[in-house]
Amino acid sequence: MKKLLFLILFIVGLWVALMNFKGLATQGTYESIIVNFREDVSTTTLSEQIEAIATNYDKTLSLNSIYAIDEHIYTVSGDKQFIDNLKHSPLKKYVDYIEPNYIYNALESPNDPDYSKQWNLHNIHVERAWEETKGEGITVAVIDTGVSRVPDLRQTEFVAGYDFVNDRNDASDDNGHGTHVAGTIAQSTNNNYGVAGIAYQAKIMPLKVLSGQGGGSVSDIADAIRFAADNGADIINMSLGGGGESQVMKDAIDYAYDKGVVIIAAAGNSNQNAASYPARYPKVISVSALDATGKKAGYSNYGAGVDISAPGGSESGKILQETIDPTTGEAVFSGFQGTSMAAPHVAGVAALVKASGIKKPDEILAVLTQSSRKVEDDTFNYYGAGQLDAGEAVKLALKGQITFRDFFRWLRDSGYLNPRFWIDGGMVALLPKLLMVLGSYLLAFLLRNYFPFSFTSPFNWGLLLGSSGLFFLQGIYIFDLPQWPFRVMGSSIPELANSVQGTASLNPFLASVLVPFVLIAILLGHRSWKWFAIGTSLGVAGCLTVHAIMSPAVWAMPSLDVSRAFLGFNAFCCVALACLASKRS
């Protein structure tokens, strides 16, 4: 009965904690509100409700843009209290939803005009892709601060766009961010001037949703997504993001995706363990950033929601394109860094893939992820499926629709047909973990022959936590929730520092007899929990034995032989300690 009560209290406490956890979905900032009227509401009723809001609240409800007419999407200035008032007013009968009009911002870092080499294009092997295609016939919508026709974009073909910030057809850039992004996708190439773009024969559709200061509302971004889908865009790039889950944004993304548009967005620059919005929506390809060495950029978000990684730059190597100086409006070559710079790399390669014959968004995502360069031991999901590779993506795409033979070949080339991959590869080393658990139980059965005892719950938990931990939890990523609890629970005691710090070498203090000794010293006088300490000692012995055989690296040890001897000696000490404690018991 007592155990049942504790279980109920634990579940209730966990539920309360999760219900009160405020993730990124509700952390956005906003100054206005979106009111989405039902499509079956008559024009007369619509006018009456708009007039009622003006009379009762002294606020003007405005159509978001001319492209929001069919969707009945209106905006009005207001805060959280005003949202609550509207949701409890008669207006609620006529709307699908009322939500904050969150502000998303351009994801960028300061410029470095002295950086002059496009290491990023070599990194993704774009030259190999250019042997087959340059993106001809594909239209990429750049939803950003607008795009200006700087000299190195004059040979790039543009299609009609729109400025949703100022409600006009001219979508010129007054910030520089959008022009830089467009340059990575399709900067004019082979023109004896400036730098190159990835899919330089593709068309650019400029859609301005961010102001000169870099901020914009989700209602404008959603309208731009629908505009792109309705006007022939094949790819959408959104190098922007922020906090706040939005139904109007999700609806627009679903609408574009259902029309066959590939949607790509930056994961965010907060070095957090989840992608920001809109990258985290399921139908959006979320891109984290790499630095010039191929490692995760220090600012890049990672973990939940990240699908793939691409060059985003760092202080030691930025992404160079021609853009505008926002203070003068003049063209200038500048180096930027951010996941904003990583996303257009994926958009450009997606254009190359689509030009090669792959049409559906899910198939294009499959090509991008299957062709990416895999990263071993990516326990924090820094890289998603891997690092973008344009050459391999186009090569895979040119095989046509992915057949079973292609898939089988990919499995073979990736090593997935090698039994070792399924046994001890990937995020969780399954075979060593099983050996650790089995080894600890084997030691327990041997010990039981000399000192009879029962396999109680504390003893079993000690064996498990000392040998392997709940290792299957290490690969779990949940939006907004911190990942370290899963890594801690998924680690054995000797491997605890490895999981938290992401290192390969064992910590010599944890990977020793020290922790079992302390536990036994503290718990030996307790009738039940002393068996937890004894089980932990045997579990640690099993873990150290397997590491001594398979992966003996220990921090600060001069060689693997010394590490192996250290682990073996401490494993023996753990068994001896368990024997002494059992004998005394």
Positions annotated as catalytic residues are: 144, 177, 340
SS3 (DSSP) at 34: strand
- How far, CA to CA in Å, does 172 sit from each of 178, 195, 196? 9, 21, 21
> Smallest Cα–Cα separation from 182: which of 366, 356, 367, 344?
344
What distance in Å separates the CA atoms of residue 465 and residue 543, rounded to the nearest whole number? Answer: 10
Q: What are phi and psi of 530, to 5 degrees?
A: -60, -30
Q: In the numeric block, which tokens belong to residue 488?
A: 């801690």
Distance (Å, whole) CA 54 – CA 33: 14
Kindly report the backbone phi and psi dihedral angles of residue 314, in degrees, each rounded to the nearest multiple of 5, phi listed first: -155, 180
Q: Tell me how far the alpha carbon of residue 375 is from its chain's centroid.
A: 15
Measure Cα distances from 44 to 50, 61, 87 in Å.
10, 15, 21
User: Residue 111 belongs to what H/E stretch?
Assistant: none
Per DSSP bridges, beta strands 235-238 and 203-208 are unpaired
Distance CA 472, CA 479 (A): 18
Question: Is there a contact between 140 and 351 (Cβ–Cβ < 8 Å)?
Answer: yes
Strands (E), 345-478: none
Q: Which of 139, 134, 99, 347 is nearest to 227 (CA)?
A: 139
Whole-number CA gyration radius for the chain:
29
Give the integer Cα–Cα distance in Å for 549 and 564.
7
Residue 233's nearest CA partner among 323, 322, 162 is: 162
Is the bond leading into 278 cis (omega within 30 degrees of zero)? yes
Which residues make beta-bridge pairs with 384?
Answer: 308
- Residue 102 in tokens: 């969150």
Question: Are 296 and 382 within 8 A, CB to CB?
Answer: yes
Q: How many CB atoms lie within 10 A of CB 170?
A: 11
- Beta bridge partners of residue 98, listed in sequence order: 35
Q: Which residue has the tokens 């250019």?
A: 130
SS3 347: helix
**CA-closest candidate to residue 474, choices 483, 462, 463:** 483
- The interaxial angle of helices 361-371 and 339-355, nearest 10 deg, is 110
Angle, vertex CA 208, rays to CA 205 and CA 212, nearest 5: 140
Phi, psi of 101 (to 5 degrees): -95, 75
Please give the full DSSP string across 302-338, using - where no structure is assigned.
Answer: -SBT--EEEE--BTTBPEEEEEE-TTT--EEEEEE-S
